[in-house]
Amino acid sequence: MNVGELSLERFAGRLAGEGVAIRWGPFVSRIVSKLPELAAPLHLLYADFPIEPPGGICDFHVCVRPRSLRLPWEEQQVEFLLDGVRVFQPVPRQSALTVFEWRLNWCVYALANNFLIYHAAVVERDGLSLLLPGHSGVGKSTLCAGLVTAGWRLLSDELALLNPDDGRLRPLARPISLKNQSIDLIKSIAPDGTFGPIATDTAKGRVAHMKPPTSSVRRAGQPAAPRLIVLPRFRRGAPLRLAPVPKTKAFFRLAETAVNYETHGEQGFLAMIRLIDASDCYELEYSSLDHAVAAMEDLVRSMSVERRCRTTTLPVMTC
């Protein structure tokens, strides 16, 4: 059963009671909350995600509960609990959904050390996976949303999970986080997209979430082999620039975004080497999302042609 197969009323009732165990990629979270302003957007944004049967094993037991109920609503706060323990300070109630998403990311950062984790978006087209590493503010989530809107498969907009044993990327297709001007930009190019409420006055300004494509959620069990690493940077007014990057430089830039690189020791180093060796590496500077998406599509198209040429028995010149 998927979340969307429950009515909002039934979903909210289960959320407020025993909780709902939702599978997202390789993880299962049992979520408990009596907040109606959290139930509705979760029901909307996670409609395609499977619900695990009661009694199963969950990776994260999460509760989002209100505090200070005697205060006016706009002054109330909520707190996030993991396994019954409050791990962060309370936040304004109006930011409940945004904080919930950020805290789920933190659960992965802090606890999923079976993966080598990068602060990066991951998408895929024609069997070629594209890693977009970078810290907050470089434009990776906006570019990720633009590519997904253009038909790319979403693996993650925030967390790249690399299995150090087989060198493959595990999908984690959760709602895409958009901030400030990116919200209206993506809404303008995805008029049929589904978006959650906009939280204002968060630590990162205005934040909203875009529902992941149904097809991406359904393929959450299909890993992807790395093939492209593009280091994005949004710079207002800058002309489009896509240039190859030496693998040595790409290694150190990627290592800067690794959350638990040191935890994996030698295995993490070797996994990074394999990741870089398997990937073509580029830098991308852009101010126009349309131009950036077109550049990525042209790049993948040329790589697909090259790959077909390598495998055909005809001379390369016929391609």
DSSP assignment of 171-192: P---PEEEETHHHHHHHHH-TT
133, part of any domain? yes
Q: State whether 104 and 123 are in the same domain.
A: no
* pLDDT at site 200: 86
Residue 305 has pLDDT above 90, yes or no: no
Q: State whether 122 and 163 are in the same domain.
A: yes
Q: State whether 152 and 106 are in the same domain.
A: no
| Domain limit, last residue, from 70, 92, 111 | 111
| Domain limit, last residue, from 56, 82, 111 | 111
Residue 317 has pLDDT above 60, yes or no: no
List of residues 6+ apart from 289 with CB closer than 8 A: 142, 143, 146, 185, 189
pLDDT category, 308, cuts 50, 70, 90? low
- Name the one residue in this structure whose structure tokens are 């993506």: 186
Q: State whether 86 and 173 are in the same domain.
A: no
Q: For 239-280, what is each residue's pLDDT tens digit?
A: 999 999 999 999 999 999 999 988 899 999 999 999 999 999
Average predicted confidence (pLDDT) for the chain? 90
Structure tokens at 97: 């959904």
The predicted model gives 77-87 an average pLDDT of: 90
Q: State whether 120 and 13 are in the same domain.
A: no
CB 161 within 8 A of CB 133: no
* Whole-angstrom distance, CA of residue 270 vs CA of residue 129: 20
Q: For 2-34, what is each residue's pLDDT tens digit?
A: 999 999 999 999 999 999 999 999 999 999 999
> What is the residue range of 15's domain?
3-111
291, part of any domain? yes
Instruction: Please state, as a whole number, how many other Cβ atoms lie within 10 Å of the Cβ of residue 59.
Output: 17
Q: State whether 228 and 247 are in the same domain.
A: yes
23, part of any domain? yes
* pLDDT at site 312: 52
The total of structural domains in the chain comes to: 2
Exposed/middle/buried for residue 45 (C-beta within 10 Å: 0-12, 13-18, 19+) = buried
252, part of any domain? yes
Instruction: Pick the more confident residue, 317 or 108.
Output: 108
Q: State whether 126 and 50 are in the same domain.
A: no
Q: For 157-184, what is each residue's pLDDT tens digit?
A: 999 999 999 999 999 999 999 999 999 9
* pLDDT at site 310: 60
The predicted model gives 187-216 an average pLDDT of: 91
* pLDDT at site 195: 95
The predicted model gives 190-213 an average pLDDT of: 90
Q: State whether 54 and 158 are in the same domain.
A: no
Backbone angles phi, psi at 24, to 5 degrees: -135, 105
CB 33 within 8 A of CB 63: yes
Structure tokens at 107: 């659960």
* pLDDT at site 309: 66
Residue 319 has pLDDT above 50, yes or no: no
* pLDDT at site 318: 46
pLDDT category, 307, cuts 50, 70, 90? low
Q: For 215-224, what is each residue's pLDDT tens digit?
A: 999 999 999 9
11, part of any domain? yes
Q: State whether 160 and 52 are in the same domain.
A: no
- Name the one residue in this structure whose structure tokens are 């290694």: 251
| Domain limit, last residue, from 111, 134, 163 | 111
Q: For 26-81, what is each residue's pLDDT tens digit?
A: 999 999 999 988 999 999 999 999 999 888 899 999 999 988 767 776 678 889 99
Q: State whether 140 and 84 are in the same domain.
A: no
Q: State whether 38 and 171 are in the same domain.
A: no
318, part of any domain? no
Q: State whether 134 and 246 are in the same domain.
A: yes
271, part of any domain? yes
Residue 314 has pLDDT above 60, yes or no: no
In this structure, what CATH number is given to the domain that contains residue 214? 3.90.228
246, part of any domain? yes
